[in-house]
């Protein structure tokens, strides 16, 4: 059983931790620094805790499962180390950081087999949410989102009777100009909301279909709530000047929008659970 094998491997595990710390000593601290410095990835502090909770939740079942080591895990370990080497050679942080998660997956598979790995796939895979995206990928996703948010926000403002024009992600009023920046594209809240949606879906929903619905719903929710933020900012800028839409309101709106997105996500989860009971 898994619990007995863990006791047998306790010294290997004790030796493994400092080995991993030595290999990733120059990589993981930089990632934690990104969580602290970049608001896009501040959810990274919660990801390992949520992953640990998934393991704790599965432990009563996990500890009685049979252990059948798989040599496939050795291939995953070698591939992960190659990712680390290639990432280090190209100074590509995403590759180096994500190699740690694949390495953990390979170790679990090699030592404990497919049955144990299947039960730990969610906690291990969830750790990928703590790895910041490459900036080239982030920018490639943020730019079209900014254009879409700006476009439909202008449509809504015109319906409200406000004179407004748009050029790209620039929204122009008769007396002021606003820019739909990366923070208003929805991508910042989308990254964090996706992580929370996955956690919430697996904690509250029994059906895989409902879990998929919850995770996918994070995308339109993040975009819609940020669009609401842009519309509200434009409304204030038009009637009260650009200063009314900056400073405290701008910071408060960012927090309020994410809170609204979470409320909508939780409401969807409650509706899906009610469907189950019905």
Output the pLDDT for position 207.
87
Residues 73 and 196 in one domain: no
Q: Are 110 and 71 in contact (CB under 8 A)?
A: yes
Return the pLDDT at 126.
95
117 with 141, same domain? Answer: no
Residues 78 and 140 in one domain: no
- pLDDT tens string 160-207: 888 888 888 788 888 777 777 766 666 777 888 889 999 999 988 888
Q: At what angle do helices 208-240 and 248-277 cross, to 10 degrees?
A: 150
Determine whether 69 is exposed, middle or buried from the number of CB atoms within 10 Å of its CB (0-12, 13-18, 19+).
middle
> Greater confidence, 30 or 248?
30
- pLDDT interval class at 144 (50, 70, 90): confident
Q: How far apart are CA 55 and CA 58, in angstroms?
A: 5
98 and 152, same domain (yes or no)? no
Q: Which domain holds residue 11?
A: 2-130
- Count of structural domains, the chain: 2
Q: What are the distances in angstroms from CA 182 to CA 32, 105, 146, 176?
A: 22, 33, 7, 20
**Mean pLDDT along residues 265-270:** 90
pLDDT digits (tens, 9 = 90+) for 81-116: 999 999 989 888 999 999 999 999 999 999 889 999
Average pLDDT score over the chain: 85
Residue 252 has pLDDT above 80, yes or no: no
The answer to whether residues 18 and 104 belong to one domain is yes
Alpha helices in the chain (DSSP H): 2-8, 10-23, 28-37, 47-62, 72-89, 93-112, 114-126, 135-159, 187-204, 208-240, 248-277
Contact assessment for residue 102 and residue 83, using Cβ atoms and an 8 Å cutoff: yes
Residue 72 scores a pLDDT above 90: yes
140 to 134, 146, 149: CA distances (angstroms): 10, 11, 15
Looking at the fold, whether 175 and 98 belong to one and the same domain comes out as no
Mark whether 192 and 250 lie in a shared domain.
Answer: yes
Boundary of a domain, candidates 101, 130, 159: 130
Same-domain pairing of 149 and 232? yes
Cβ-based neighbour number of residue 63 at 10 Å: 13
DSSP letter for 198, please: H
Give residue 142's pLDDT band: very low, low, confident or very high (50, 70, 90): confident
Looking at the fold, whether 273 and 147 belong to one and the same domain comes out as yes
In the structure, what pLDDT confidence band is assigned to residue 130 with cuts at 50, 70 and 90? very high
- Whether the per-residue pLDDT at 150 is higher than 80: the answer is yes
Domain boundary among 110, 130, 150: 130
Residue ending a domain, among 102, 130, 158, is 130
Residues 73 and 167 in one domain: no
Domain shared by 79 and 143, yes or no: no
Quote the tokens at residue 268: 């969807």
Is 240 in the same domain as 173?
yes
């Amino acid at each position: 059983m898994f619990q007995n094998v863990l006791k047998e491997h306790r010294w290997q595990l004790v030796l493994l931790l400092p080995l991993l710390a030595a290999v990733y000593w120059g990589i993981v601290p930089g990632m934690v620094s990104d969580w602290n410095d970049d608001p896009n990835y501040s959810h990274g502090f919660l990801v390992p805790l949520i992953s640990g909770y998934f393991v704790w939740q599965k432990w009563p079942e996990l500890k009685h499962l049979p252990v059948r080591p798989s040599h496939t895990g050795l291939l995953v370990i070698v591939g992960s180390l190659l990712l680390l080497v290639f990432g280090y050679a190209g100074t590509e942080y995403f590759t180096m950081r994500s190699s740690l998660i694949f390495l953990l997956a390979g170790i679990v598979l090699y030592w404990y087999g497919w049955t144990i790995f299947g039960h730990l796939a969610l906690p291990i895979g969830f750790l990928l949410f703590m790895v910041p995206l490459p900036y080239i990928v982030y920018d490639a996703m943020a730019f079209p989102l900014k254009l879409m948010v700006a476009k439909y926000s202008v449509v809504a403002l015109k319906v409200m009777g406000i004179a407004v024009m748009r050029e790209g992600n620039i929204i122009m009023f008769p007396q002021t100009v606003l820019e739909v920046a990366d923070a208003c594209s929805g991508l910042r809240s989308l990254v964090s909301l996706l992580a929370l949606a996955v956690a919430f879906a697996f904690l509250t929903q029994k059906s895989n279909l409902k879990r998929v619905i919850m995770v996918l719903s994070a995308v339109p929710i993040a975009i819609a709530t940020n669009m609401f933020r842009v519309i509200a900012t434009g409304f204030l800028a038009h009637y009260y000047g650009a200063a009314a839409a900056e400073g405290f309101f701008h910071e408060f709106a960012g927090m309020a929008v994410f809170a609204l997105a979470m409320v909508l996500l939780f409401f969807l989860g409650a509706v899906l659970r009610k469907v189950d009971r019905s």
